[in-house]
Structures are given as structure tokens and as C-alpha cells.
């Protein structure tokens, strides 16, 4: 690892003057939306459309939940949000770039601005946790020292597990390590797909708190979950909108959630 590095402090806000959840500009992105869906449909080969005519705009700094029954297409929509899938119809725009027009390098570069946390989070099991967390920096040619990660690891409560290998982590620790990895590049958007699916209530509250803190720093957050209690808990702390996938379409859920 190189020597010209700086301390990584994910909790530092970047020019966030208005830290209430909702639409506000991220310093990196001056457009109106970071992710936009226009008449988007997607279907896997051999089946009918899973998602149909989706129109969606995620403003910078907004906080959204995405809910719906299992198999409704939450994970598919999340994958469309970071260019892992290309819509079969319609247009997905990430940071003002049409996904269909992006080269593979463009997609890779865009993913550095989007942190993703999956329910079944995957790591490189042969590398210690701190190297896994620093992976986005490594692949983008930046170097880090273990000491540079101390603040970030403290933030997610994994200071004692920095040298551990991922298989030794509990479910909650894996999720927090994934969150640390997702935010290490200080991305503009955090996408979390059932981040609390494998953890207990206390741990899910802890993860939620971290995601809310990120949103208060100006990050756009989209969490796919079917945990209504988590959504209620979040709405008590942050101005979040709830999107529901129903009949292949995305609808704005009622305010009583």
C-alpha cells in the first residue's frame, strides 16, 4: 500500500447545508436527478415483464424505501439502478447518462459513485476485512493504509475485526462491513437490498441509523425491504418516501406506513 493517503472519514458531510432528508444537491452531481427511470420495463428471458412502465426519479439527497412482496422485482429494480441490468424497454439514466449508451468502463466508473449493499453480501474471502472494505479504492488505483480506515471501521463498529477474514464475521458484522465498503468511495448514492434481512432487530436499527447518517450527509439512499417495522422506525427519524412495487409497477405508498 502506498503512503500518500488521507484519513477516510465517512461521517464528514460534504457541503451539506440543509441536512434534512429530501431533495438537495450533491456536490458531485448538479443535475436534478441521480437516477431516473422513464417508461422502464424489464423481463427475464422466457418470462413476462417483471417490471412495467416504471417512471421514477431519485433526487440528490433523497431517502426512499422500496417495498413489495417477495418476487415483486425489488432486487431487479435495484440492479437496474446500478447498471447491472439494462432495461428491455424504456430508459434508465444514471448521473445524466443513458445506461444503454454506456460502455462497460462507463458502468464500472459509475459504480464508483453508487455504493451497493446486498442481503447476501459477498466478499473476497481470502482477504481480511480491512482490505475488503478498501476494495473500491484498490480497484480505482488508490492506496490506503490500515490506519486510514480506522474512523470508518469505528463508525460501523468493526475496529476489532479489521484483520479478520470475512467467513469469521457474523451476519450483522458482514452487513456493516458491506456498508463500510459501499461508502468508502464517498458515493453519491447508497442502494441497499434487504440490508437487514439476515440480522436481528437491534442490528437492523443500528444499520438503519448508519444509513440515515449517510443521508444526512447528502447521500441519496434507496433501501429495498419488506420490513414494515423498519420503514416505520425510519420515518420517525427521516423524511423518507415509500415506493411499493405492485402489479409490475411502482406506486407511491400511503403516508400511514
For the beta sheet containing 220-224, the strands, ordered from the edge strand earlier in sequence to the opposite edge, are 114-117, 189-193, 220-224, 63-67, 241-246, 249-252
Q: Which is nearer to another protein, 184 or 231 (CB)?
A: 184
Q: Which is nearer to another protein, 15 or 98 (CB)?
A: 98
Q: Which is nearer to another protein, 121 or 250 (CB)?
A: 121
Q: Are 139 and 170 in contact (CB under 8 A)?
A: no
Our CA angle for 97, 103, 108, nearest 5°, is 85
Question: Which run of H or of E encompasses 53?
Answer: strand 51-58
CB 11 to another protein: min, Å: 21
Residue 174 per-residue DSSP state: H
CB 85 to another protein: min, Å: 7
Of 257, 137, 230, nearest in space to 186 by CA: 137
Q: Which is nearer to another protein, 21 or 80 (CB)?
A: 80
CA distances from 1 to 72, 147, 148 (A): 44, 11, 11
Q: Footprint of another protein on this chain (CB under 8 A)?
A: 1, 84-85, 104-105, 108-112, 116, 122-127, 131, 135-136, 138-140, 143, 181, 185
CB 233 to another protein: min, Å: 28
Q: What's the farthest any 2 CA atoms get from each other in the chain?
A: 53
Spell out the alpha helix ranges (H) of 82-223. Answer: 104-111, 129-133, 135-139, 150-155, 171-183, 201-216
CB 1 to another protein: min, Å: 7
Q: Which is nearer to another protein, 148 or 227 (CB)?
A: 148
CB 108 to another protein: min, Å: 4
Amino acid at each position: 500500500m502506498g503512503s500518500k493517503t488521507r484519513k477516510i472519514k465517512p461521517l464528514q458531510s460534504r457541503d451539506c447545508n440543509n441536512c434534512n432528508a429530501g431533495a438537495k444537491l450533491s456536490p458531485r452531481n448538479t443535475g436534478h436527478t441521480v437516477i431516473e427511470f422513464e417508461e422502464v420495463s424489464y423481463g427475464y428471458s422466457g418470462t413476462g415483464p417483471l417490471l412495467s412502465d416504471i417512471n421514477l426519479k431519485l433526487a440528490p439527497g433523497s431517502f426512499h424505501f422500496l417495498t413489495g412482496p417477495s418476487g415483486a422485482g425489488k432486487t431487479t429494480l435495484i440492479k437496474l439502478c446500478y447498471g447491472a441490468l439494462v432495461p428491455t424497454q424504456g430508459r434508465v439514466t444514471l448521473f445524466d447518462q443513458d445506461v444503454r449508451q454506456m460502455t462497460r468502463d462507463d458502468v464500472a466508473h459509475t459504480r464508483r459513485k453508487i455504493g451497493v449493499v446486498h442481503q447476501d453480501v459477498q466478499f473476497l474471502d481470502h482477504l481480511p476485512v480491512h482490505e475488503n472494505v478498501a476494495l473500491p479504492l484498490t480497484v480505482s488505483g488508490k492506496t490506503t493504509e490500515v490506519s486510514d480506515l480506522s474512523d470508518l471501521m469505528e463508525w460501523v463498529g468493526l475496529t476489532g475485526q479489521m484483520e479478520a477474514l470475512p467467513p469469521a464475521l457474523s451476519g450483522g458484522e458482514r452487513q456493516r462491513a458491506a456498508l463500510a465498503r459501499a461508502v468508502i468511495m464517498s458515493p453519491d448514492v447508497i442502494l441497499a437490498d434487504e440490508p437487514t434481512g439476515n440480522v436481528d432487530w437491534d442490528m437492523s436499527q443500528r444499520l438503519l441509523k448508519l444509513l440515515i447518517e449517510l443521508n444526512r450527509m447528502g447521500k441519496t439512499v434507496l433501501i429495498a425491504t419488506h420490513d414494515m417495522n423498519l420503514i416505520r422506525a425510519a420515518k420517525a427519524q427521516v423524511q423518507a418516501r415509500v415506493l411499493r412495487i405492485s402489479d409490475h409497477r411502482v406506486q407511491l405508498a400511503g403516508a400511514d406506513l
